[in-house]
Amino acid sequence: MPLYETDPAWADVTPIELDDGGPSPLVAIAYSDDYAEAMSYLRAVMAADEMSERALALTEDLIQMNPAHYTVWLYRARILTAISADLSAELTWLNSIALRHLKNYQIWHHRQTLVDRLGSADGEQAFLRSMLDQDAKNYHVWSYRQWLVRRFALWADDSGELASIEELLNEDVLNNSAWNHRWFLVFGREGQEEGYKVLDETVERELAFAKAAVRKEPQNQSPWNYIRGLLRQTKRPLAEMKDFASEFAALDRPDEVRSSHALDLLADIFADEESNAGQAKVALAMLATKFDPIRASYWQYRKSLLPSKEAPAA
């Protein structure tokens, strides 16, 4: 049923029909008549750069059918400003769209525009929590969340951010998105706030947190990467982790190895030590043959980078 053609409110608009570029269009889509008609009217109001309530309603109709239409969102944002629309109501509407279309970039860009203009993060953390309940690793949600932290300076421990991350990691210690956000909360603040420096005790707290997570699940790559990142960031030697890594892998007790990531770290630690290339090679060979065979080519490559066993003749 044509919705716009028969609507008196749209009688003054001449729709722009689709021109599909000749006799052999590529990838034509069998979309609905409703979509085709709405698009024809959208093109017409966009051509007139019309800023009106009816154009706003039309964008809503289209977004329901095609939320990935990138200019319709920009057009909608411009109309909202032009007609001084109620942005809180817009945000409420947007929540329902976001919960229905989880993998859409435009929705989150639009949200950023709205919340920036509203100037308040009230309710945002709760809404993000409901989004993460559906998909705890949703990239758009985490990206938006970083923007939110920066925009409203939610860095402090009482902002609820760190507590929320601990809760998420408690539920699923494998959630790498949560680990990454944790890193951002610790190190993203530098350069955002004048004079702010990450304290040594904060780094110690983070190391302790990551070590506890490894003890919970030694084969989880996220906290191992986090530990290596902490050491690199603070320019501390990997060797500091030798005892810790040895809790999960010892070269002389292969039957008790509990983590390929511990072996990987030990290989790097041995490689850094003078005259311990031999042990590094043993660790890499253990990875290639038994503890991580799908990366055998990679471990062998790592081994090939080590100095050869024979010391040069004096």
Enumerate the active-site residues.
103
Residue 78-97 contact track with other proteins, rule CB under 8 A, x = bound: x-------------------
Please name the residue that has the structure tokens 């509990």. Answer: 258
Give yes or no for residue 206 binding other proteins (CB under 8 A): no
CB 165 within 8 A of CB 182: yes
Please name the residue that has the structure tokens 């982790």. Answer: 241
Work out which of 58, 128, 155, 260 binds other proteins, going by CB under 8 A: 260
CA distances 259 to 28, 221, 247, 296, Å, are 51, 9, 10, 16
Nearer to other proteins, 37 or 124 (CB): 37
Residue 78 CB, shortest distance to other proteins, in Å, is 6
What number of residues does the chain have? 314
Give yes or no for residue 11 binding other proteins (CB under 8 A): no
C-alpha angle with apex 259: 255 to 262, nearest 5 degrees?
A: 110
Residue 20 CB, shortest distance to other proteins, in Å, is 5
Q: Which helix (H) or strand (E) holds 97?
A: helix 87-100
Phi and psi at residue 70, in whole multiples of 5°? Answer: -75, -35
Give yes or no for residue 211 binding other proteins (CB under 8 A): no
CB 238 within 8 A of CB 265: yes
C-alpha angle with apex 185: 201 to 158, nearest 5 degrees?
A: 80
Give yes or no for residue 116 binding other proteins (CB under 8 A): no
Work out which of 10, 51, 54, 74 binds other proteins, going by CB under 8 A: 74
Near other proteins in 292-311, by CB under 8 A: 292-298, 300-301
Residue 29-48 contact track with other proteins, rule CB under 8 A, x = bound: xxxxx-xxx-xx--xx-xxx
Nearer to other proteins, 120 or 216 (CB): 216
Near other proteins in 132-191, by CB under 8 A: 137, 139, 142-143, 146, 174-177, 180, 183-184, 187-188
Q: CA gyration radius for the chain? A: 28
